[in-house]
Structure 1
Amino acid sequence: MSTPKTIGFFTSQLTGEVILRENKNGEGNQAPLTIHELVLGTATRYPDLIALGTRNVDGWETITYIEYYELCRKAAKSFLKLGLERFHGVGILGYNCTRWFVADIASIFAGGISVGIFPNNSSQACRFIAENSEANIFMVENDWQLQKILKVQDHLRHLKAIVQYKDKLTKKLPNTYTWEEFLTLGVTISDEMLDKVIDSQKPNQCCMLVYTMGTTGPPKAVMLSHDNITWTSAAVLQSLPYTYPPENQEVLVSYLPLCLINAQIFEIWIPVTIGASIFFAEPDAMKIQGSLINTLLEVRPTTFCGVPEVWEELMQRMRSDQMSAASFKRNLIVWARKMGLKAYKNRESDCGKAIAGSHNLVRNTDQEDIGEFYLWGRHLSMGYLNNEYKTKKAFDQKGWLHTGDLGTLDNEGFIHIIGRIEEVIITNQGEKIFPVPMENMLKENIPIIHHAIIVGNQAKFLSVLLTLKCEISSDTGEPHNMLTQEVINFCRKNNSKSVKVTDITNNQDPIIDAIIQKGIDAINEQPEHENHKILKWKVLEKDFSIMGGELGRPRRCDGRTSPESIK
């Protein structure tokens, strides 16, 4: 790779270095740290505190912070032995566990780039990420994940080894290892050799890639520096009620997909920053109802980061418990439900303040003070890998990120987001409409809907294209005709016999048609939508996908003009 070069506040090259957006004084000017400095510091301060806990048949198996750190060093040596090159990717494909965490940190210790991959990604999606990140090594959870990589490995010219970190290999293959075999590989790598690699790392260099979902264009690799992670973790903590040992050790549960940066911040890096204990939920935590709640009841975390689906399940569980609870317990549950609902509504409001030590502005405002949000701070990424055009389009020369989000900034510093610049619909009367909140409400009102795209540029009224939640090919990501079990259960609950998408399209299922119309009517009846109602809708025969071209590059309905099929 080429020699690292500092070009300003952003870069599109993995070897690039960036200027940190440090404030001259006050918040945001903390000394930069590398990942190794962060992990070593915690292992030194809290060597004997529990770092990670995994459920097994005999109970919970735990490791301390000093054991965690030493295991990361051991794995880093094995990465070096396998030939991991500086700034080359290590793809991690599987569900949350101790070995996922260790692979993540060890890949950075060894000078590589950590690349978390969504566990349900297809072989082709994994291939794209591997080629884009020039991955030298893949860490896969089991044989199911291994087979995805084996299908495309002939196309991966940078790939040197695959490690299956759970279960035994069903067949021994060249350059393929179990976790136990992997850990023994680095015995010939000295501490001095590893420390030389660690000492060469800088806070303003890239150590991680996070891939966007690709819903409005090709998936982009967001480059994150050491400082992006270490500084952001510390900055977020300033607005959270977390405590530090020895006063108290926080206990947290890991269950969110670690390919998401918010999951990594809250489940890997914030816990390391404060010396918290992390306990792992079962891999089916987000699939099997009650699985995550059972883990929460057993672990009893001191704090919990939840997504909407989880809060909804908790509310449902509390409702059912309330029916059979004693008087005191029933009152307690009612109070918890009210508090939970309040927190959930606040989370759903698309409203918040800038992170401590960062700055935001609203530029190019209209007569209603709606404008585009600009952000500045050390939490902003380095840029998009190998995409200089998108990087320069997103960042200006002073380091401000032009988010493309539209909204207002109130007197208390709260940001209120109402949509995206490219999503705005202009009616034939010249009225501006922000469709995203309406689309989100549609999906909330009609739970069988996967995608809702409102169209109506230069039209007299709005129309909406709908796709249903259906089964997806694990190999290609191609949507099938069969509805998901969740949708089938919903249909049965409402006396519909539909099991396929084509049972519902073209108005073939009057029961589901009535449910969809009721959900649309609920939006049309709201006062703010009096002048822009949804008058037509259509359920498409196929869900959106990268293979179909609707995802992974600009939408076919770009511009939000009503297509001929719905006029």
Structure 2
Amino acid sequence: MLFVGCSENSISATTKRNLRSFEKRKQAGETQLDMNKPKTIGFFSSQLNGEVILRNDKKGEGNQAPLTVHELMLETATKYPDLIALGIKKVNEWETITYIEYYELCRKAAKSLLKLDLERFHGVGILGCNSIEWLVANIASIFAGGISVGIFPQNSPQNCRFIADNSEANIFMVEDDWQLQKILKVQNHLPHLKAIVQLKGKLRKKLPHLYSWEEFLKLGVTISDEMLDRIIDSQKPNQCCMVVYTAGTTGPPKAVMISHDNITWTSAAVLQSLPYTYAPENQEILVSYLPLCLITVQIFEIWIPITIGASIFFAEPDAIKVEGSLINTLREVRPTTFFGIPEVWEEIQQKLKLDQMSATSFKKNMIVWAKKVGLKTNLNREHDCGKAIPGSNSLLRQKDEDGMGEFFIWGRHISMGYLNNEYKTKKVFDPKGWLHTGDMGILDNEGFIHITGRIEEIIITNEGERIFPVPIEDMLKNNIPIICHAMIVGNQAKFLSVLLTLKCEVNEDTGEPRSILTKEVINFCRRNNSKATKVTDITNNQDPVIDDIIQRGIDEINEQTDYDSHKILKWKVLEKDFSITGGELGPTSKMRRSHITRMYQTTIASFYI
């Protein structure tokens, strides 16, 4: 792999001065919280300019000195100035920037945001795929005293309008002309919007208050370092610096307020339970490919890397959609650690199957051996959801006779609250700072958490029994290899039913599921004497062979219970798989159960006639 652009860069006088000031405060045991004692505050807030009490433990991880995002970034940039921070592929070469270049670029962009009159605690919407520009815009927004607001690239103009209005966004950073057009469609309805910046490509048409990335970076030359530093120094760890919007699987998106301390403390705390190594001796190499508007992704692809001085390399924008794209990036970059989602592991599994089919006998034996070792290791882990993050606490409340209840958690990783939604904030946070998660499960004697499902997912039978659908749905997908999604229904009914979708090809451009079955499913059908090649060959009970396979898979699950109300007695294969574009899945590919129930209410009703 060829890396270019890794030349050494001297640390500027301003950066050295900021570091001296930061180190002086650390030695004195002073934090940004001490500089201006806040008014009386609580554990949560619903206002962007609000402050919260940090949930400090008296000792250990929960008592670490709080840091702002700038302090974290400054410390790493000056500790590892010449280490590679970010890399992106241009044509056939990987272009990289060092940590000091990363930091200085964020300051440069922050000055330009100030030039565009970004107001304190106002949003900067970032709409696009993962890139160096995305990260710089994200951090620069915080440096400049604004609120970073990541937006799913697939969001509609109407969703962008809602988010911009909700976060009072002054600036929009859009990836390209396609994303730009979304904002132009709704800009007349955005009273707080002052400017739009296009991160990549040439502007198709020059419009007022619209800038290319290159033009944007030049705007801040008249903003002094002193002016930027005054804003940076006014920031506190317990103040909001980011808003993350939920996927809206159970209603309209909610705006989750994230503080500086939420980011910096959580990154350090999570590292205590992971085998990551620290620069410079063993620099981690990671790949960024998941949507950065998700806070979990940001923790693993932005903030933990900064904390340990790791290198981040960006996959292609279509990494998840185009088969093989992500795997090609992984082969080139060879990351030391990989943060994956089920769909990615499934793609890797399919590649292994294909490799095994065409491999020599020696290689086949090696693949079989490696899979056995991996399976044994993960079977030992699969029922262990872990313990609370070091420095935080968890407990179960409202337990039933089986010891199952709702998880409540407490710690500095918990968000500040829901923006502009005091009712919802007070509903999930109690006055002592405990968050009501909505997750049901069991806490064992060793402190390990076993999550059974979400409260809103629980199915209540006509006898009042509680059934958690997710474990049953997972068994269905394991028992019937051709199934892509399974959704159990049967609320207030005498028995359960299930909606099933099949694994099928996906349109790479739109993400829409096609009617053509995947090669894996077609091969499965052939092995079982079925000629099916399309979803429509199987729907409406047209293929007795496949119907029998599905029924046998369901029967195996039904045999595990003696209660008729817990058995799946009816099922239907739908003509179309669930998708994000179709609305059945949220941006993280989680089923939107209430939406699916409304879509198929006629089908569901037919189960119980």
The two structures have a TM-score, normalised by structure 1, of 0.89
Change in 2 beyond 3 A, CA 1:131/1:489: farther
Tell me the CA shift for residue 555 of structure 1: 5.6
> Which shows bigger deviation, 291-300 or 456-465?
456-465
Tell me the CA shift for residue 338 of structure 1: 3.1
2:209 is aligned with what amino acid? N
Aligned to 2:171: 137
Tell me the CA shift for residue 512 of structure 1: 6.6
1:72 equivalenced with 2:106 (yes/no): yes
- Structure 1 unmatched ranges of 5 or more: none
Q: 2:293 aligns to what SS in structure 1?
A: coil
Q: Give 1:496's match in structure 2, choosing from 532, 538, 542.
A: 532
Change in 2 beyond 3 A, CA 1:104/1:510: farther
> Which shows bigger deviation, 483-492 or 251-260?
483-492
- Provide the C-alpha distance between the structure 1 equivalents of 2:330 and 2:516, rounded to a whole number of angstroms: 24
- Provide the C-alpha distance between the structure 1 equivalents of 2:400 and 2:85, rounded to a whole number of angstroms: 50
Q: 2:61 aligns to what SS in structure 1?
A: coil
Change in 2 beyond 3 A, CA 1:98/1:88: same
Q: Give 1:373's match in structure 2, choosing from 392, 404, 407.
A: 407
Change in 2 beyond 3 A, CA 1:77/1:57: same
Note if contact 2:561-2:567 (Cα within 8 Å) is conserved in structure 1: no
Q: 1:418 aligns to what SS in structure 2?
A: strand
- Provide the C-alpha distance between the structure 2 equivalents of 1:565 and 1:99, rounded to a whole number of angstroms: 51
Aligned to 2:311: 277
> Which shows bigger deviation, 237-246 or 511-520?
511-520
Note if contact 1:426-1:433 (Cα within 8 Å) is conserved in structure 2: yes
Q: Give 1:63's match in structure 2, choosing from 85, 97, 112.
A: 97
Deviations 1:133-183 (A, max 9, x none): 111111111111111211222222211111111111111122111110110
- Provide the C-alpha distance between the structure 1 equivalents of 2:506 and 2:322, rounded to a whole number of angstroms: 18
1:399 is aligned with what amino acid? G
Change in 2 beyond 3 A, CA 1:544/1:280: closer
- Provide the C-alpha distance between the structure 2 equivalents of 1:549 and 1:55, rounded to a whole number of angstroms: 34
Q: Give 1:146's match in structure 2, choosing from 180, 196, 202.
A: 180
Aligned to 1:308: 342
Aligned to 1:20: 54
Deviations 1:201-255 (A, max 9, x none): 1000111111111111211111110000000000000011111123211111111
Aligned to 2:498: 464
Aligned to 1:262: 296
1:218 equivalenced with 2:252 (yes/no): yes
Aligned to 1:179: 213
Identity %: 74
Aligned to 1:393: 427
Tell me the CA shift for residue 441 of structure 1: 4.0
1:269 is aligned with what amino acid? W
Q: Give 1:50's match in structure 2, choosing from 72, 77, 84.
A: 84
1:484 equivalenced with 2:514 (yes/no): yes
Tell me the CA shift for residue 76 of structure 1: 0.5
Aligned to 1:383: 417
Aligned to 2:13: none
Tell me the CA shift for residue 414 of structure 1: 0.8
Note if contact 1:214-1:553 (Cα within 8 Å) is conserved in structure 2: no
- Provide the C-alpha distance between the structure 2 equivalents of 1:455 and 1:565, rounded to a whole number of angstroms: 12
2:233 is aligned with what amino acid? D
Note if contact 1:213-1:219 (Cα within 8 Å) is conserved in structure 2: yes
Q: 2:279 aligns to what SS in structure 1?
A: coil
Q: Give 1:97's match in structure 2, choosing from 131, 148, 151.
A: 131
- Provide the C-alpha distance between the structure 1 equivalents of 2:378 and 2:172, rounded to a whole number of angstroms: 37
Q: 1:287 aligns to what SS in structure 2?
A: coil
Tell me the CA shift for residue 541 of structure 1: 7.3
2:119 is aligned with what amino acid? E
Change in 2 beyond 3 A, CA 1:330/1:483: closer
- Provide the C-alpha distance between the structure 2 equivalents of 1:518 and 1:159, rounded to a whole number of angstroms: 58
- Provide the C-alpha distance between the structure 2 equivalents of 1:319 and 1:541, rounded to a whole number of angstroms: 28
Q: 2:492 aligns to what SS in structure 1?
A: coil
Q: How does 1:305-384 map to 2 (within 5 A)?
A: 305-325=339-359, 330-342=364-376, 349=383, 351-384=385-418
Note if contact 1:32-1:203 (Cα within 8 Å) is conserved in structure 2: yes
Aligned to 1:200: 234
- Provide the C-alpha distance between the structure 2 equivalents of 1:512 and 1:132, rounded to a whole number of angstroms: 49
- Provide the C-alpha distance between the structure 2 equivalents of 1:486 and 1:174, rounded to a whole number of angstroms: 47
2:606 is aligned with what amino acid? S
Q: 2:409 aligns to what SS in structure 1?
A: strand
The two structures have a TM-score, normalised by structure 2, of 0.83
Q: 1:27 aligns to what SS in structure 2?
A: helix
Structure number with the bigger relative contact order (C-alpha 8 A, sep ≥ 6) is: 1
1:437 equivalenced with 2:461 (yes/no): no
Note if contact 2:505-2:518 (Cα within 8 Å) is conserved in structure 1: no
Change in 2 beyond 3 A, CA 1:64/1:342: farther
Change in 2 beyond 3 A, CA 1:5/1:214: farther
Aligned to 2:605: 564
Give the number of equivalent residue pairs.
557
